[in-house]
């Protein structure tokens, strides 16, 4: 049955190449659907070609940052005519059986697909409005006011469009609970973040440094890393024993700002890199000092696949079941876990639950379920 099913995958992510968690997630879903035998047409922000170059329809969505309140409102409640045209052309050439909308706020396209009598699966990477609410708590002044307005629009978007989806995909049980107000439990499936472990080669010899990786333009990474630098790295004097490397987009600018506040001894930053995994695989420890957010973190899955020990907050480890993650929520716990783990031998592994093959089964179950449902 799979080879006769045509899926339209719509995302604001840029999964080719997959730089950043949202892009890794989107690429993983596309490849998993292809591995199931489905025909997939994808509208993404990528311009590079994936394994099957004919499936990609690149479209550069407007940037989400620095929008006025009016621009933000329009982006949440109005479809883009050019995107509608791409969808219609694809549908006219080869009937779309199911649409999968993935990442951020694209719920306004659900009614458009329904007019074409195409059932919709809405995929979330986290509870986005909840993430904005958490950000508001740490902002001040005019930025706090602006984000509050955006948060109200985001909540309205979710309330208006999410109940219209035939099914919803979330990445964790915690996110499922956050979205149950929009759809009944049986219409929400947890498809955890997953990776292909064959893409990760373990390095038997590690170097003496700790790594914090991610997008340092994200408030949760900035806030958590500043806390770690102040409360753990400097106060615990770990700079005497090892190095700290910040890896990822904006890490160099972030460290420059931190050096105006703190000494940041023995800490370095790479800025944007082609592959974060190289730095994780060579590290003694991967540190995840995240106190805000939802969804789950690919940096942890990648560290486990590479055999790198992980010390994370409870929030950072949310959505990932693994006895290989050491949890630390206070500065004392972080200091103790680092001291215990820094030179310890380990046998770290990634659970099969977070591999692409395991999640192909979940995706097939969702597709089969949707095709039996009437379109409403």
Domains of the chain: 2-194+356-372 (3.40.50.2000), 198-352 (3.40.50.2000)
Find the angle CA(98)-CA(102)-CA(104) to the nearest 5 degrees. 145
Secondary structure of residue 177 in the 3-state scheme = helix
* Angstrom distance (rounded) from CA 110 to CA 161: 7
Report whether 218 contacts 251 (CB < 8 A). Answer: no
> What is the full DSSP assignment across 47-90?
-S--SSGGGEEE--PPPSTT--HHHHHHHHH---HHHHHHHHHH
Q: How many residues does the chain have?
A: 376
- pTM of this structure: 0.92
Tens place of pLDDT per residue across the chain (376 aa)? 455 899 999 999 999 888 889 999 999 999 999 999 999 999 998 766 566 555 778 887 876 655 677 888 999 999 999 999 999 999 999 999 999 999 989 999 999 999 999 999 999 999 999 999 999 999 999 999 989 999 999 999 999 999 999 999 999 999 999 999 999 999 999 999 999 999 998 887 889 999 999 999 999 999 999 999 999 999 888 888 999 999 999 999 999 999 999 999 999 999 999 889 999 999 999 999 999 999 999 999 999 999 999 999 999 999 999 888 999 999 999 999 999 988 776 788 899 999 999 999 999 999 999 998 555 4
* Angstrom distance (rounded) from CA 213 to CA 246: 6
pLDDT of residue 122: 98
Token pair, residue 294, equals: 């939802």
pLDDT of residue 203: 83
pLDDT of residue 237: 84
* Torsion from C-alpha of 319, 125, 192, 360, nearest 10 degrees: 180
In the sheet that holds 325-327, the strands lie side by side as 267-269, 243-247, 209-213, 285-288, 310-312, 325-327
Of 14, 354, 10, 16, nearest to 190 (Cα)?
A: 354
* Angstrom distance (rounded) from CA 323 to CA 320: 10
Neighbours of 258 (CB within 10 A): 19
Token pair, residue 128, equals: 């986005």
Of 277, 328, 344, 330, nearest to 304 (Cα)?
A: 277
Q: What distance lies between CA 376 and its chain's CA centroid? A: 30
Phi, psi of 105 (to 5 degrees): -110, 95
Phi, psi of 135 (to 5 degrees): -65, -40
pLDDT of residue 34: 92
Of 295, 293, 294, 332, nearest to 311 (Cα)?
A: 332
């Amino acid at each position: 049955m799979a080879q006769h099913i045509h899926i339209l995958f719509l995302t604001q992510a840029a999964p080719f190449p997959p730089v950043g968690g949202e892009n890794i997630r989107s690429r993983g879903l596309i490849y998993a659907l292809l591995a199931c035998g489905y025909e997939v047409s994808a509208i993404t922000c990528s311009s590079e070609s994936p394994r099957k170059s004919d499936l990609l329809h690149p479209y550069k969505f407007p940037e989400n940052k620095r929008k006025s309140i009016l621009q933000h409102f329009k982006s949440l409640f109005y479809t883009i005519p050019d995107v509608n045209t791409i969808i219609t052309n694809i549908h006219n050439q080869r009937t779309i059986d199911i649409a999968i909308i993935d990442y951020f706020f694209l719920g306004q396209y659900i009614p458009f697909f329904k007019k074409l009598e195409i059932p919709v699966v809405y995929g979330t990477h986290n509870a986005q409005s909840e993430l904005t609410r958490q950000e508001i708590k740490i902002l001040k002044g005019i930025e706090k006011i602006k984000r509050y307005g955006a948060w109200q629009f985001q909540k309205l978007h979710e309330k208006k469009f999410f109940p219209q989806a035939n099914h919803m995909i979330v990445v964790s049980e915690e996110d499922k609970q956050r979205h149950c107000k929009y759809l009944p439990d049986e219409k929400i499936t947890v498809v955890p973040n997953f990776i292909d472990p064959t893409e990760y080669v373990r390095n038997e010899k590690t170097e003496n440094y700790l790594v914090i990786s991610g997008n340092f333009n994200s408030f949760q990474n900035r806030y958590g890393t500043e806390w770690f630098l102040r409360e753990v790295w400097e106060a615990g004097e770990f700079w005497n024993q090892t190095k700290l490397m910040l890896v990822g987009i904006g890490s160099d600018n972030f460290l420059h700002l931190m050096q105006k506040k703190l000494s940041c001894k023995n800490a370095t930053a790479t800025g944007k890199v082609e592959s974060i995994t190289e730095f994780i695989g060579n590290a003694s420890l991967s540190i995840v000092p995240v106190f805000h957010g939802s969804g789950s973190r690919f940096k942890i899955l990648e560290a486990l696949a590479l055999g790198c020990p992980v010390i994370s907050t409870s929030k950072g480890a949310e959505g990932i079941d693994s006895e290989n993650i050491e949890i630390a929520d206070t500065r004392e716990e972080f200091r103790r876990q680092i001291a215990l783990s820094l030179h310890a031998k380990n046998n770290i592994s990634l659970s099969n639950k977070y591999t692409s093959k395991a999640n192909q089964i979940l995706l097939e179950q969702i597709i089969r379920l949707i095709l039996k449902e009437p379109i409403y």
